Amino acid sequence: MFTKYRSEFALALGASFFAFNGVISKLVLEGGLSAYRLTEIRATGGFLAIITYLLIRAPKSLLAKKKDLPALIAFGLFGVAAVQIFYFISISKLHVSIALIIEFTSPIWISLWLKFVRKQRVSPLMWWGLSVGFVGLVFLAQVWRGLTLNVIGMIAALIDAFAMTVYFLLGEKIGKSRSTEVMMAWGLGVTALTFAVFQPWWSFPFSFLNKQLDLHGRFAGHHLPGWALILWVILCGTVIPYFLTLTGLKGLNASTSSVLGMLEPIFAGIFAWWWLAESFSAVQLLGAAVILVGIYLADRSRANA
């Protein structure tokens, strides 16, 4: 049973790690580190961890032919770096729930790409799954409670959705010939280099690493140094979830994998409720249930295909 569903399990577990990382990242951001700096140290730390592993175990796997470079660079630049950059821009201009909804339209763009560009058949069940899952996200985020339409924010959120589409499509393509670890190395490496160009490391606020940060919520009054939380973000919020997500993507197609990514908002709500005492309303619980139905329909479409 596990072998049959191991790709789905990997993606679901990866979504849970990404979601929990949201709580830890929020503590770091509230502690005073900017979102851009957090993304920079997250990508750089993750890259150094995975590149060290590969240089010891399989250094030749990092080599790439000239014809493969455009896809690998695009995966890092658009599929990893752009997802982070435009997400932060969008949430700075829009209500987070609106940005989240637009970001998770990526499964729709993936299915449209497969149908009209690649001329592949997309199962009717997949369309139903996408529609139901999207409606569930609307209820989970309760967008009607914070609708503030900012043009720049809307454009950034839409670009973020396209970037996530590139992440899944290129990840599926590259994963056929490259290991998960190599994909991570290229993706995080290009991201780290991109941020280093715009935010040189010599200007990084290293004093933040020794700052004592309040854990808030359930653990209010308890503190941990900045470096400990950042280390968690690097290892458990970046290396592990990216490994799980890309591993799952290798066993599924891009459209199904992106739909399973809709689990992340559900897990994020659960962790926020447990740690930060943020509660679910009845409407949000309904939205979570609807998302699960959408994911089930999308997964069934893959099984039927």
Number of structural domains found in the chain = 1
For the chain, the distance separating the N- and C-terminal CA atoms, rounded to the nearest angstrom, is: 19
Considering the domain boundaries, does residue 287 fall inside one? Answer: yes
In a domain, 279, yes or no: yes
Q: Establish if 252 belongs to a structural domain.
A: yes
In a domain, 30, yes or no: yes
Supply the range of the domain harboring residue 295: 6-304
pLDDT reported for residue 232: 96
SS3 letters across 113-129: HHHHCCCCCCCHHHHHH
CA 98 – CA 47 distance, rounded (Å): 31
Task: Tell me if the pTM is above 0.85.
Answer: no
Is 139 part of any domain? yes
**Which residues of the chain have a pLDDT value below 70?**
1-4, 94-98, 143-149, 299, 302-305
pLDDT of amino acid 155: 84
Question: Computed from CA positions of residues 144, 146, 148, 151, in that sequence, does the dihedral angle turn out positive or negative?
Answer: negative
Answer yes or no: is 1 within a domain.
Answer: no
Q: What tokens appear for 260 in the block?
A: 């399973």
- At 305 the pLDDT is 53
Q: What is the pLDDT of residues 186-212, one digit of tens each?
A: 999 999 999 999 899 999 999 999 999
For residue range 79-102, list pLDDT tens digits in order. 899 988 887 788 777 666 667 777
The per-residue pLDDT for 1 is 47
Residue 167, both tokens: 């992440």
